[in-house]
Amino acid sequence: AAKKSASSAPITADGDMPKKKFYRSRAHCNPLSFNETFEYPTRPDLMDWTEDYYPEHPALKKDDDAEKNMFSNTFQCASMTIHPDVLDVGCGFGGLTMALSSALPNNTILGLEIRAKVTEYVRLRIVAQRKEHPGQFKNCSVMRTNAMKYLPNFFAKASLEKIF
């Protein structure tokens, strides 16, 4: 019973740097026989990247209230144009994803990982880096998905600049 209560508490709080040893997972899984269901859009244009993945993206800079009221359509239009254009497929613990965020500040970076524990580690790592370095790492995020099956559901043809 004690083991169950310990596992229900989060290993790492949002904003704290996660420790890799708590997020180890089996090194590989076969994506073609992986039976777990993933949520995915039926078409790329139905995906809103801002809400869960890039809520503080640099392109969404919020101005003062007067300007926001005056240009409310501009904010909505910007949120519709934000989508990842650089992918790190099989991002693992997110080292390359984080490095790409700094190296390509004008791009929107997305790490893709199939393992749940590892994806959570990368998400927490990004949150911790944003807290430690205000204004940085707002152009990167991570998503748990099966890239071999669902990549066309998330990205329109010719919408990606780089894939790692």
For 41-97, write each residue's pLDDT tens digit: 999 999 999 888 998 888 887 654 434 444 444 444 444 578 999 999 999 999 999
Specify the residue for token string 């994803």: 97
Query: Of the candidates 89, 127, 86, 126, which has an alpha carbon nearest to the alpha carbon of residue 107?
Result: 86
Average model confidence (pLDDT) across the chain? 80
What is the rounded distance in angstroms from the CA atom of residue 71 to the CA atom of residue 148? 40
**pLDDT tens digits, one per residue of 32-43:** 565 567 888 999
pLDDT for residue 70: 46
If you average pLDDT over residues 24-35, what whole number do you get? 61
Whether the CB-CB separation of 60 and 79 falls below 8 Å is answered with yes
**If pLDDT is split at 50, 70 and 90, which confidence band does 149 have?**
confident
Q: Write the CA distances from 148 to 114, 115, 123, 154, 161, integer angstroms.
A: 10, 14, 21, 12, 18
What are φ and ψ of residue 113, in 5° steps? Answer: -145, 140
What is the rounded distance in angstroms from the CA atom of residue 140 to the CA atom of residue 81? 15
**pLDDT at residue 118 is higher than 60:** yes
Which residues share a beta bridge with 162? 86
pLDDT for residue 90: 93
Instruction: Record the pTM.
Output: 0.75
